[in-house]
Structure 1
Amino acid sequence: MKIKIVNITSWIIIIMILILAFNFYKHNNFNEFIRSEMNLHTSEFKRDSETKYSKTDSYRITSNTKNDATIYKKVKVEKNTPYKVTCMVKTENVIPENEISGVGAQISIIGTTEKSIAITGTQEWQKIEMIFNSKDREEVDIGFRLGGYLGECTGTAWFSDFTFEEGTLSQNNNWRFACFIFENTDVTINGKNVKLSMTDTDIFDIRDTMKRFRTTIREISNSKIIADYDTYIVREPINKLSYDQEFGYYVSAEDIENSIKDIVKENEYDHIFVVIRLGDEEHKNDIQINDWIGLRFNGLLWHRIF
């Protein structure tokens, strides 16, 4: 009788150990993802079976103190090929340090400045995407990140339903453009505050230019590009410009992301124009400009890889 009781007790202990081991594995199994953080042992990485978008457990990153934390996977790519990465993301109390635009829950290529929009605050599940070209690379580290190369943040982010697609040139000749006109510029350059505003004539000229662009691009491309566009007036001033030794001051995606991301997210634009005033008679030499940089190109079809 004692032997039977001992055997039953042993089996109960073994089963309990197996259950504990399974639960530990379930909540800590990140498959092929590598966990990484700027400040070691600061963020918590877990699989979450309660807060999830689909049937599979989500990947949760929590940073109670400021950190740049990510899970990433090494992916093989073909050279000079466009790719699109997407995922579903949910956030809770994500706060970037110093309110830096471009920091939050995002997709990025580790070790580069290539990234998606960054989700901050507390938001329900939504889809985000990152489009990039492999150029001369044969593999990249695709990261799902709470933070960013621009800075750190606090909060919690859940990631789920990852996709990775290869692009091919689309045969569709219909292109969609967006033109964002920032009425006001309020930036500090070399310690000097520069305030500029568009006039009604400026805005009329921009609208007229877009009309002529639609006609001209069709003519010079022999109807290979048929342009359709939307124009948006942004009254919130642009208050930050990026700087590059080669290009001088320019508008980067991070400078305007918070102002336009809701519109961009609701529309499938192939290219985005941003128009701002960078000088007038009073400030004609205050903002150095050497060249122009585009913001985004799409015009592709996507084929699911995983």
Structure 2
Amino acid sequence: MANKLENNIYCGPCESQHLTNIAELWCPNCTEGLCSTCLKYHNVSKSTRMHKTITIENLTTLPDFVRDIDYAYSNHSNVLDLYCSVHEKTCCMDCITIDHSECPGITSLVKVVQGVKESAFYHSIMKNIEDLTEYASKVQKNRNENADKLQQEKRFLVEKVKSKRREITSHLDKLEEDLLQQIDSTMTQESQQINEAVSNLQTKIDTLAEYKGQISSMIENATEVQTFLGLKEIDKKIVKEEENMSRMVVEPGMKETSVNMEFANEIGGLVEEIKLVGTLELNKVTTAMHYAGTKSQLAKSLSNIKSGIDNIKLSCINKFQIPFNFQGKKIFAVVLY
């Protein structure tokens, strides 16, 4: 492409004369810009008057790889006027001799590109683009639906985790309540037994103190006979009190009582053993939305072109038979190819 200075394209023929004139038009065949003066010679020259020029503005709308297409082969300096359908490359006569000598289907480039803008090749590419765009849009919609589905699944899973947590919490609360009630009931029962034992012991202490007072009164006020007989009577009562005390010491309220508690194995190892509340399972399935690609129509049509005498095949045009005995002569069947 012609040199650019400050985003301007300069006339190619003028540049070859060391002149700098801004190009007004562009010749895709010559791959250079043309000023108004050089355009006049370009339009009347035998080698270029059939070239179609375009405006510089239209040139800028072309893709870079299209603007950079050059019709001259740099290695051989020949015009690329042939096309190899095997390698799908443009070439010149020197290219064919060196690189494509055994390639069938070498075709004139002019013949290949003739009517290309309205050809089945053009419509095939446009159809492929439309099909691929439609397929990509369907897949895009499918992926968006999958993303929306994942958000719904996220909300469901989050609620499922919270629900399970509430279920576990509610169950633990119930177990806690039952255990606390059991602790309270046990402590109350044991305390009542101890309090009852304390009360019974206090009764005995009071009784013994009463016996002691009675003895003191007898010592001070009774005769010896009364004291002796009174002591004998109190002695009998003391024996009964000893017997009662012996029975009392084995009662539940007289035993040294303490309450301990051990958690169930599942609860005791809850923190150590339960490291996860749950696990996620990620399922990935290849989408069933397959795209059936198509082979280039140009490649298909050109691949059917064969060259060389070895590829010549006979085809039957007509077949008929003349009677064997005709005017006394023996005639054979004739087949035309």
TM-score calculated relative to the size of structure 2 = 0.18
Query: 1 or 2 for the larger relative contact order (CA 8 Å, sep ≥6)?
Result: 1
Look at both structures and tell me which one has the larger radius of gyration over its CA atoms: 2
The structure richer in strand per residue is 1
TM-score calculated relative to the size of structure 1 = 0.20
